[in-house]
Amino acid sequence: QVQLVESGGGLVQPGGSLRLSCAASGFTFSRSVMNWYRQAPGKERELVATINSSGGRTNYRDSVRGRFTISRDNAKNTVYLQMNSLKPEDTAVYYCNAKGFNFSFGYDYWGQGTQVTVSS
């Protein structure tokens, strides 16, 4: 079965740091684009960061660029999101996402989410 399991969320103070992890199984992780999305209460889900299959290319939404870093370890089937200088507006449920295309089919998998709360 396909699984994406996020961990590492929690409560932190403004200016603090967290590292989220997403452990993947049940598909070819090393050939998948991996993404982190987030969704705050009352808002639409938004893309936070993306990383290509090899890890050589990344991109970020403007509001997190310079503070967040996405990375992956294909040997461990794990993608990470290092979040520094956290702000209250970063509070959201963070979701791990995998996208790929096989030639005959595409896939789009989601984790269950992990809560990040930034508050004094």
Q: Is 87 helix (H, G, I), strand (E, B) or coil?
A: coil
Q: Are 43 and 23 in contact (CB under 8 A)?
A: no
What pLDDT is stored for residue 118 in this prediction?
98
What pLDDT is stored for residue 55 in this prediction?
95
Cα distance between residue 112 and residue 114, in whole Å = 7
Tens of pLDDT along the chain (120 residues) come to 999 999 999 999 999 999 999 999 999 999 999 999 999 999 999 999 999 999 999 999 999 999 999 999 999 999 999 999 999 999 999 999 999 987 888 999 999 999 999 999
Beta-bridged to residue 37, according to DSSP, are: 47, 95
Closest to 95 in 3D by CA, of 32, 59, 48, 26:
48
